[in-house]
Structure 1
Amino acid sequence: MAMLVVPLFLGILQVGLFLYIRNTVTAAASEGAAYAAVLNRAPADGETRTRELIRGVVRDQLIDSVTAVETDLDGQPGVEVSVRAHLPPLGLWGPGISFTVAGHAVKETGE
């Protein structure tokens, strides 16, 4: 019985942890994009803000990269912050999970 319950429990725990980390990183990327979209701020400011928000919740070792670039959002100038991260497997076996999330914001203009 325990041979069935323990892997099932670890699998459910892995899915819950993945969803928590993915949602946290997605929210940080969106906030970083909004931060960089303010007038007179550069994409690098959004990258820095995203890293600060993630650092407060998720271990740095899980984040592979954070990038911010100016982009075009439906004809409007914008900012995109992308975060590549991974989640190692729980226990001694199982696959690790790699994922990428992005946040977007329309850039403020002085007009």
Structure 2
Amino acid sequence: MCGPRVLHDERGSSPVEFVLVGTLLTVLTLAVLQLALAVYVRNVVHDAAVEGAYHAALADTSLEEGAERSRSVITRAVGAAYAGDVIVGTSEELGHETVDVRIRTSLPVLGLIGVPYALEVEAHAPVESLGEE
């Protein structure tokens, strides 16, 4: 029969504690790194939308050139898989014509593998005019 001393003995629990705490800290570190990667991809895609909107808003460029600029920025930074759905159009805000760029792409969940079309960003730029206002 086990005595009271044997039931309260903590010998041998240190290796188990080390493995459990090490696993928990590793998972926590990987989760923080994944969050940082997701924020990085979001920032790159948003910056590409802004760049494409400003490029398409120039007086001597077309909307398709703005879309291509957005795709090239995304491709250089995070890869061509994230540069698929780029929509460029025009609208009017506060009485002035603007160029709108909307990009829908994957949100990375496990490495760069992610949920398709879960991330959507939009950017606007005023259209450049060289004539009368």
Query: Match of 1:27?
Result: 47
| Inter-partner Cα distance in structure 1 for 2:26 and 2:50 | 36
Say if 2:66 is the partner of 1:43. Answer: no
Matched to 1:76, the amino acid is H
Query: Match of 2:119?
Result: 99
2:109 is paired with a residue whose SS is coil
Deviation per residue, 1:11-45 (Å, 9 max, x gap): 10111001111111111110110000011322111
| Inter-partner Cα distance in structure 1 for 2:127 and 2:43 | 23
Say if 2:48 is the partner of 1:12. Answer: no
Moved more, 63-72 or 28-37: 63-72
| Inter-partner Cα distance in structure 1 for 2:84 and 2:34 | 19
RMSD: 1.8
Give the share of equivalent positions with the same residue, in percent.
32
The 8 Å contact of residues 100 and 124 in structure 2, kept in 1 or not, is answered as yes
Structure 2: gaps of 5 or more residues: 1-20
Displacement, 1:64?
A: 4.1
Query: Match of 1:74?
Result: 94
The 8 Å contact of residues 62 and 87 in structure 1, kept in 2 or not, is answered as no
For these two proteins, the number of residue pairs brought into alignment is: 108
- Higher-RCO chain (CA-CA 8 Å, sequence separation at least 6): 1
| Inter-partner Cα distance in structure 2 for 1:62 and 1:2 | 34
- TM-score, structure 2 length as denominator? 0.73
- TM-score, structure 1 length as denominator? 0.86
The 8 Å contact of residues 63 and 86 in structure 1, kept in 2 or not, is answered as no
Structure 1: gaps of 5 or more residues: none
